Amino acid sequence: MIGFIQQIRRRTPLGWLQLTKQKSRLLVAISGVAFADVLMMMQLGFQSALYESNTRLHQNINADLVLINPQGRNMINISTFPRRRLYQAMSVEGVKSADPLYVNIANWKNPETQKETNILVLGFNPNTPAFDLPELQQNLNKIKMPDTMLFDEASRGTYQETIAKVSQGQTVNTELERRTIHINGLYKVGASFAADGSLMTSDQNFLMLFPRKSASSVSIGLIHLQPGYNPQQVATSLKAYLPNDVEVLTKQEFVEFEKNYWSTNTAIGFVFSLGVTMGFLVGVIIVYQVLSTDVNDHIGEYATFKAMGYSHAYFLGVVFEEAVILAVLGFFPGVTVSIGLYHLTRVATNLPMYMTIARALQVLILTMVMCGISGVIATQKLQAADPADMF
């Protein structure tokens, strides 16, 4: 091991010397790698924000198990099932309670601009809140009042004045589904790709807001277990006991249910994955052009080395050295620019765009692979060439 390290130290850094010989070309190469990294990081960031923003309600749901209609596609496009399934679930050993959660999209009229937009409305029993949110716990008594609702302060759109008034203790009156409602409390979840914001209220207020909805038709069933019972085992018992018009999910499976919809059933997930692939290919092309030009510029030197008996593996090592240098030097400015763009996107859209160590390492590995592929392609000319032909 010591001998190997000493050999590395004695080795002439030929790749570094060739890259730094022409500073302008090196700068262009680093810029190209950084550009490819920014493309990949932005697409991965948007993809992560897509999944994170659309599952924030799922992650904060106050339940051990969840019942949904198997025909439901996601929380926004959820199908209902009979409420009697909740009563049946309570007869299964380990189930402590089963409560309904009602979900629907409503037509919101902005109290300041009078413009109408769609907003997600969630109704539940205030005595057993559907979500583990500190602000919600503090305002449960408010939503027991008729036509009273809580507003998501992290909603995206022209709601700043409404949020400011409510945060100062004022009650904001506006119109929702042609019914006057009162907003006198806030909670924080955030916007998503599916909805700009949300409202929470009691199940009674929800049913008054949507008179065509029936209390016997439940959007989501929230199952709480008795202490000491394993959610997976109780879920198995519920699946065996309940009819097939309901599906039993653990909390994590409910989150994956939403993610799966956005990744496989919509074009958005595919577009972001395609964007990462395109960024990778752009990087391969840029780095290949740099390395190929560098090989052509030093073809005489390579021919001399080959005539002296150096193997193709040596040439490959030199080009790989250049590829790794370009990958590392291009990665850091790419990360820096991406962090800035993440911040701008987060401020403008309220989407959870954050740089993570895992994502940075993922892009670094992709960059190494990207530059390595370019290096392999760039050295193909040397492998089959005769030294006499290269002079």
Average pLDDT taken over every residue of the chain: 85
How far is 1 from 6, CA to CA, in rounded Å?
Answer: 9
Mean pLDDT within 154-170: 84
Query: What confidence score (pLDDT) does residue 14 get?
Result: 63
| pTM, entire model | 0.79
Any residues with CB less than 8 A from the CB of 60 and at least 6 apart, and which? 131, 132, 133, 189
pLDDT one-digit tens code per residue, 217-275: 999 999 999 999 999 999 999 999 999 999 999 999 999 999 988 888 877 778 888 88
In the numeric block, which tokens belong to residue 289?
């052009």
Q: Cβ(154)–Cβ(60) under 8 Å?
A: no
Q: Among 85-89, 100-104, 300-304, 354-358, where is mean pLDDT lowest?
A: 300-304
What would the mean pLDDT of 186-199 be, rounded to a whole number?
A: 85
Summarised one tens digit per residue, pLDDT across range 94-130 is: 999 999 999 999 888 777 777 777 889 999 999 999 9
Amino acid at 317: G
Tens digits of residue pLDDT in 273-299: 888 888 888 888 888 887 777 777 766
The residue whose two tokens read 């997600």 is: 120
